Amino acid sequence: MGQPSPFMHEAIQLAAAVRGRTSPNPWVGAVVVRDGRVIARGATAPYGGPHAEAAALAAAGPDARGATLYCTLEPCVPFPGKRTPPCSEAIIAAGVRRVVVALLDPHVGGPGIQRLRAAGVDVEIGDGAEAVADLLRPYLKWRQLGIPYVIAKFAVSLDGAVGAPAAGITWLTGEAAVARAHRDRDWVDAILVGSGTILADDPALTARPGGTPAQRQPARIVLDARGRIDPEARVFHPGAPVIVATAQGSAPAWREALRARGATILELEHTAGRLELHQLLRALGQRNIQSLIVEGGPTVHASFLADNLVDEIHAYVTPRILGPAGIPLLPPGSGLPPVHLDPVEITPLPPDVLIRGYTGSWQPPLPISAPEA
């Protein structure tokens, strides 16, 4: 499908700038082009606000008539309970002559294109499809399977350890890696850790891009099958939703204490010594959580990998050797199948390196054609 055209590339950049700000709607960008130049731009607003196409058309005003609209995703159609006017109708009403769409929206599935063509609008599909599918991975997976897109994130030494508490080493990476991790926290819908991480580190699990708490904080999810975490832990401080997943047999008094702190309790099946993660992801998907960073610890990472639930890995590799005191990234005897990342992106974050790649457990669909009207 090749590289996006220059106009679609600009629409993609607009979409990328609002990634994670529009949930449960997809992050979309649009530009209006007339006489070979961009005359208006738009990006999806937070939920309840204008979609990208509507914003771009409003900015163009009367100049939209006879122009070309480039948008990263199929324009929407009327849905029951929809909070914004359908973009396909706005495009027709504005008199746009031609629409270039990168990708069909699985939630719309072609009718948006059909409406435009039936009204005499020339529609082209596929410009920038691969780039948009990559950008929209969380949304596309959630729409297709009803569960979040899962990113496993960890810091690891050169000898495969995530820390050495007995030697006083609990923090591995430098400032550049920490800053990058907080930028990723800033756009995802949720962060997940196990109870061991809460007990060992008492993290707040907040997003602090640039060192400042983000206005929109991801939900905080804790796996605690046995009811071990303290209701006074920092994770329960105000500012973001907290979901605690526990076994159905955990202590009722402990669950009530967490509810009193504002937490939502998910009681999951508990087999083979661990919580049922497929059940967890279905419950999170029903709560419109499209993207999830799993931050550990080792047992949690091993469980997600063993169940083939990790879509993407962010491995921060630090130039240290921790030796016998180090805690291995994956517990001994995990019995995990090999995981090969493809494609891979390597980003220097001195003194560390980020290795980012896709596991192949799920691939985004690339629908690039729609039935004729």
Paired with 104 in beta bridges are none
- Extract the tokens encoding 348: 């220097």
Best CA proximity match to 274, nearest among 305, 311, 251 = 305
What does the DSSP assignment read for 258-325?
A: HHHTT-EEEEE-EETTEE-HHHHHHHHHHTT--EEEE---HHHHHHHHHTT---EEEEEEES---GGG
Q: Annotated catalytic residue: which of 10, 53, 74, 312?
A: 53
Best CA proximity match to 71, nearest among 103, 107, 106 = 103
Instruction: Report the chain's terminal Cα–Cα distance, integer Å.
Output: 24
Q: Where are the alpha helices (DSSP H) in the chain?
A: 6-17, 52-60, 87-94, 111-118, 129-135, 137-145, 175-187, 195-201, 252-260, 277-286, 298-306
Task: Specify the residue for token string 């995802």.
Answer: 188
d(CA 320, CA 317): 9
Contact 239, 260 (CB under 8 A): no
Residue 53 among the catalytic residues: yes
Contact 39, 23 (CB under 8 A): no
Cis check for the bond before 351: say yes or no (omega within 30 of 0): yes
Best CA proximity match to 42, nearest among 57, 28, 52, 27 = 52
d(CA 88, CA 237): 43
**Dihedral over alpha carbons 284, 286, 292, 296 (to 10 degrees):** 10
| Interior angle at CA 9, CA 68 and CA 191, nearest 5 | 125
* Residues with catalytic function: 53
